[in-house]
Chains A and B, each alone.
Chain A
Amino acid sequence: MLTVRDLAVSLSGRPILHGLKLSVGAGEIVGLVGPNGAGKSTLMRAAAGQLAFSGDITVDGRPLAAFSPIERARRLAFLPQARSIAWGMTVADCVGLGRLPWLGPFARATGTDRAAVDEAMALFDVRSLAGRRADEISGGELARALAARAVAQGTPLLIADEPVAGLDPAHQIALMTAFRSLAGTGRAIFVSMHELTLAARWCDRIVLLNAGRIAAQGAPGDVLSPASLRDVFGVDAHVGEIDGALTITPLKLAEGRA
């Protein structure tokens, strides 16, 4: 669904990403992890078509640059890291904004649009908030409402930048469960996060980014090893296994690191 080859991105003349190669297939959740400043958000924004880059990014085998903004918005939804909302619209209207790429000029929402909004609200457990003002709900509720907005867009590819940051454990798991069920319907999901255990449990593959380069990618168990956590994050971590899934507990800063 999403393929990235030889991707390099510079911001204000400073090189941020170098020679990245990765792919996200239909029905797959690919997690992006890495230290602060590794370039995760830059990679996500480039993949969403919002930054100039060199190299190739294709969606459905078609170069990103070949899409018009509307065509792109119908294939690829992007959930930015910043959870901002202006004006006190209702949660239902906020989620409904995800349908904008599908509305004809000056046309009103159709039954299909309303069904997509309703389904997305149910998936992220915000249906009970539908009539509340989106600027008056809690941070965790807003995070879920905005995730529902991106999913209501009904795209085969979803790129989400730290969607679980700031959520309580139950809602973190609920969000990843929702992503899993979306992947079950054939959607491709590319998601960045700092919660390593969550990433290891819910992602099919992990891409580990360090200083703008891919340090490792593959199955969670291969990528998130004590050695790579020490090299990339500079922490000694306990990597265990419960019910066949990894648990990763960072313990202390690695030796030789201030």
Chain B
Amino acid sequence: MSPPRLNPALAALALAGFLASLLAGPAGLSLADSVTGLFAGGSEAATAIMRDIRLPRALLGVSIGFALGLSGAALQGLLRNPMAEPGVIGVSAFSSLGAVAMFYTGVAGAAQWVLPAGALAGALVAVAVLVALVARRSSTLTLVLAGIALGSLANALTALALNLSPNPFAAYEIMFWLLGSLADRSMAHVAAALPLIAVGAALLFASARALDALSLGEEAAESLGVNLARSRILIVVGVALCVGAGVAVAGTIGFVGLVTPHLVRPLTSRLPGATLLPAALAGAALLTFADAAVRLIVTGRELNVGVATALIGAPFFLWLVTRSRREAW
């Protein structure tokens, strides 16, 4: 499919996911109730459900899915590696560590902004370390190795927090956070995440040309006028903003960033810059549909969407890997 048709098609799919997310839920509102609740303010209950529960949830699903798909495509391009995803550079892990620290110390309940602030602070710490390292020793390999080290450190500290957890409730809260969920989020969460995702996405889209050039290797990219150090910093900060904002309001949601670039790449020219927008739109569609599905599949107790994306994503990825006989992407 040519790009002029691919992007509108994926945008329509993401919109369908958004609507599915708006209409799905245990309250069993009819379509008419949903629409009047959202716009005209029908019954008080329908209005509350639509405006305070489902609308923020659907908005977050679209924007976080968009951010994760975009981050995955950008990182795969930067690292020239089809296995790259936001988890690789340690930003997701540090971000959730920041949130876990808030649970562990018990301050998470003090105010609604404490938890997102902790997650964002975690993402920023990881980015600061990465940028400092990349600025000093300028190589993509350094970035990957440092990312893996940071991720392992964050996971170890998170495990430590679980181990030493003061009470079972804190441990439960931490586990819930690590599984990722869009349930019970408010418009305040949307307002916190959206601006950060918008800035991060702008940085990543601005790097499209540099990513294309990088597919020829770092020396060739430099000879094509790419400022490598600057591009690396732009992309790492962009990913940190996108992923940090996502983790801050929804916990860790895996596999969306890894899988969506692979889903859309065969439909594009396969140049990394050309996969950015399709991967972002596919991410938005994937996450909103997954989030609608978890509300419908399991009745009684809701499945965490992070669990669902991993359950769908991991086997799918394995299938992708076995299907491609050669090492070609």
Contacts and interface: CB of A to CB of B under 8 A. Distances in A.
Contact of B216 (A74, A97, A101, A133): A97
A50 B329 contact: no
A179 interface: no
Nearest to B80: A86
A8 interface: no
Interface in A26-59: 45, 48-50
B40 interface: no
Contacts, number: 89
12 contacts: A48-B219, A50-B222, A69-B225, A80-B217, A80-B219, A84-B217, A88-B329, A94-B216, A100-B226, A101-B224, A149-B216, A150-B223
A77 to B, nearest CB: 6
Given A86-B215, A93-B271, A80 B220 contact: yes
Contact of B219 (A72, A82, A88, A135): A82
Interface of B is mostly: loop
B212 interface: yes
Contacts of B217: 80, 82, 84-86
Given A78-B223, A133-B328, A136-B328, A100 B213 contact: yes
Contacts of B220: 78-80, 146, 149
Given A88-B270, A98-B224, A146-B220, 13 more contacts: A48-B219, A50-B222, A78-B219, A78-B222, A85-B216, A85-B217, A86-B214, A86-B216, A87-B272, A87-B329, A88-B328, A133-B328, A136-B328
B324 to A, nearest CB: 10
A119 to B, nearest CB: 18
A9 B171 CA distance: 57
B271 A87 contact: yes
Contacts of B209: 100, 103, 105
Contacts of B225: 68-70, 72-74, 100-101
Nearest to A78: B223
A50 B269 contact: no
A89 B266 CA distance: 10
A97 B223 contact: no
B140 to A, nearest CB: 11
A90 B227 CA distance: 25
Contact of B269 (A80, A90, A103, A146): A90
Nearest to B212: A97
B215 A146 contact: no
A127 to B, nearest CB: 18
A69 B226 contact: yes
Given A100-B212, A100-B213, A136-B328, A89 B271 contact: yes
Contacts of A70: 225
A76 interface: yes
A251 to B, nearest CB: 36
Between B217, B224, B270, B272, the greatest number of chain A beta carbons within 10 A of the residue's beta carbon is seen for B224
Nearest to A92: B269
A77 B272 contact: no
Contacts of A72: 225
A153 interface: yes
B131 to A, nearest CB: 20
A100 B224 contact: yes
A94 B328 CA distance: 15
Nearest to A44: B219
Contact of A135 (B212, B265, B328): B328
B205 to A, nearest CB: 9
Contacts of A101: 224-225
Contacts of A78: 219-220, 222-223
A93 B223 contact: no
Nearest to A94: B216
A105 B226 CA distance: 13
Contacts of B227: 69
A87 B222 contact: no
Given A86-B80, A89-B270, A103-B209, A73 B224 contact: yes
B75 to A, nearest CB: 13
Interface string B183-214: 00000000000000000000000000100111
Q: Choose among B219, B227, B328 the residue with the greatest number of A CB atoms under 10 Å from its CB.
A: B219
Interface string A87-128: 111100110011011010100000000000000000000000
